[in-house]
């Protein structure tokens, strides 16, 4: 007789991880929304410095990193949760807040991990469709909030569609949310967003709404995806306490803590990366639009492209892969007929545009725009 598993294991959707790690070095890795830049040398040195001490458990209070984030954002350390990636905090929030009878509200498609929270807990997921421009429809979301709502997730900018909603609209939404429901503003890509302004702007919202949590990560703009460090700035202490209760101690290793602390000291590098990424994104968006495809108004380090109506997404993906370009299919992210493409190095972006330009004429329904192609 096979071993038995909890019923929820059958309900939990598998996370759509990127494939192609086996293809070797000559591949444009545009599938996972990381930055193409490696860490600054000082971050590598900080990691080296802590390695001789790895016989000891890490500081379970993460005080150096917590203090560094507290200094940067003006939020008391007790209201800062740290996680093994921001996903860790998200899953812990689901565990701490959801149960059968409770409801969780989020837009769809949004970050692929959101459906996990309801499936793991038995709570009712309420998925609210994005609007016609693939943005969050906050009015429609507000209408879904009930006494049973425990958690609301707003992915801003939204993964996979790259779109952001303005903070005054988020504030108007928060006015409509009862104080018993926690709202997580998932800001994994906020540093790239011109709509959201600077990274302090949403922190101001925490003053007015104790039920608000800002979820952020070192995986994107700080370039530390492999070290898995995320954090949450919380409107009140209780969120941080609850997510710490449900997790194992020592969830953040010493190398990750040291790297994150050092990375925070190099805001000049962060700004350079944002500037370079935005310039490359604008060029990429234009090149894809010049091919005659619709591209969402991106506020992130990736773009969201609609394929011609009758395109076979699987074969588009395969043709790109055959040309050494890895991107993410919309179908794996909740919306058929689209591609999510991370902004990479200029050479990688160019390779994607060239490959797409080559394969599109064979795609049913594709109309080549009049004029010169890139």
Ligand X SMILES: Cc1ncc(COP(=O)(O)O)c(C=O)c1O
CB of 246 to ligand X, least distance (A): 17
Q: Which residue has the tokens 């080296």?
A: 48
Cβ distance to ligand X smaller for residue 112 or 149: 112
- Dump strand ranges (E) for 200-273: 212-217, 230-234
Is 230 a binding residue for ligand X by CB under 6 A? The answer is yes
- Dump strand ranges (E) for the chain: 28-29, 80-83, 103-108, 124-129, 149-155, 182-186, 212-217, 230-234, 294-295, 302-306, 325-326, 328-329, 338-342
Among 27, 65, 87, 227, binds ligand X (CB under 6 A): 87
Q: What tokens does 143 get?
A: 């209408």
* Residues 152/38, Cβ–Cβ less than 8 Å: no
CA distance 334 to 125: 15
Is 162 a binding residue for ligand X by CB under 6 A? The answer is no
The mark string for 174-213 relative to ligand X (x by CB under 6 A, - otherwise) is: ------------x-x-------------------------
CB of 96 to ligand X, least distance (A): 17
Determine the interface stretch with ligand X among 15-23, 83-91, 123-131, 358-366 (rule: CB under 6 A).
83-91
CB of 7 to ligand X, least distance (A): 26
Is 299 a binding residue for ligand X by CB under 6 A? The answer is no
* Residues 220/53, Cβ–Cβ less than 8 Å: no
Other residues' Cβ atoms within 10 Å of the Cβ of residue 368 = 11
Determine the interface stretch with ligand X among 47-55, 80-88, 308-316, 349-357 (rule: CB under 6 A).
80-88
CB of 198 to ligand X, least distance (A): 19
Determine the interface stretch with ligand X among 81-89, 164-172, 276-284, 326-334 (rule: CB under 6 A).
81-89
Determine the interface stretch with ligand X among 58-66, 79-87, 201-209, 241-249 (rule: CB under 6 A).
79-87
CB of 184 to ligand X, least distance (A): 10
Q: What residue is closest to ligand X based on CB?
A: 85
The mark string for 109-148 relative to ligand X (x by CB under 6 A, - otherwise) is: --x-------------------------------------
Q: How far is CA 299 from the centre of its chain?
A: 12
Cβ distance to ligand X smaller for residue 154 or 307: 154
Other residues' Cβ atoms within 10 Å of the Cβ of residue 143 = 12
Please choose, from the candidates 96, 110, 95, the residue with its C-alpha nearest in 3D space to the C-alpha of residue 141: 110
Is 303 a binding residue for ligand X by CB under 6 A? The answer is no
Cβ distance to ligand X smaller for residue 296 or 311: 296
Q: Measuring CA to CA, how many Å separate 185 from each of 128, 161, 216, 244?
A: 16, 16, 9, 19
* Residues 298/304, Cβ–Cβ less than 8 Å: yes
Contacting positions for ligand X (CB under 6 A): 33, 85-87, 111, 155, 159, 186, 188, 217, 219, 225, 230
């Amino acid at each position: 007789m096979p071993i038995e598993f909890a019923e929820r294991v059958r309900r939990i959707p598998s996370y759509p991880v990127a494939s192609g790690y086996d293809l070797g070095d000559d591949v444009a890795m545009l599938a996972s929304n990381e930055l193409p830049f490696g860490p600054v040398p000082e971050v590598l040195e900080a990691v080296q410095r802590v390695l001789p001490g790895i016989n000891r458990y890490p500081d379970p209070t993460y005080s150096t990193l917590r203090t560094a984030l507290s200094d940067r954002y003006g939020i008391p350390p007790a209201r800062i949760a740290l996680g093994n990636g921001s996903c860790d905090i998200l899953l812990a929030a689901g565990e701490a807040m959801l149960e059968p009878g409770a409801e969780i509200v989020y837009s769809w498609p949004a970050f692929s991990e959101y459906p996990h929270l309801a499936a793991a807990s038995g709570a009712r997921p309420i998925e609210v469709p994005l609007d016609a421009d693939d943005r969050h429809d906050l009015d429609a979301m507000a209408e879904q909030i009930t006494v049973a709502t425990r958690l609301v997730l707003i992915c801003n900018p939204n993964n996979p569609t790259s779109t952001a909603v303005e903070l005054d609209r988020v504030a108007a939404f928060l006015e409509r949310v009862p104080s018993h429901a926690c709202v997580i503003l998932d800001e994994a890509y906020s540093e790239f967003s011109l709509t959201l302004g600077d990274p302090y702007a949403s922190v101001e919202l925490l003053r007015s709404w104790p039920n608000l949590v800002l979820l952020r990560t070192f995986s994107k703009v700080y370039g530390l995806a492999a070290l898995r460090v995320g954090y949450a700035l919380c409107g009140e202490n209780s969120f941080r306490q609850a997510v710490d209760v449900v997790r194992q101690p020592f969830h953040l290793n010493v190398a990750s803590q040291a790297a994150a602390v050092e990375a925070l000291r190099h805001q000049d590098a962060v700004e350079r990366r944002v500037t370079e990424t935005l310039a490359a994104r604008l060029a990429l968006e234009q090149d894809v639009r010049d091919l005659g495809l619709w591209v969402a108004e991106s506020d992130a380090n990736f773009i969201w492209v609609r394929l011609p109506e009758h395109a076979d997404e699987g074969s588009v993906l395969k043709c790109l892969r055959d040309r050494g370009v890895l991107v993410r299919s919309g179908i794996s992210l909740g919306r058929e007929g689209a591609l999510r493409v991370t902004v990479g190095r200029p050479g990688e972006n160019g390779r994607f545009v060239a490959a797409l330009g080559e394969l599109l004429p064979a795609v049913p329904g594709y109309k080549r725009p009049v004029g010169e192609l890139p």
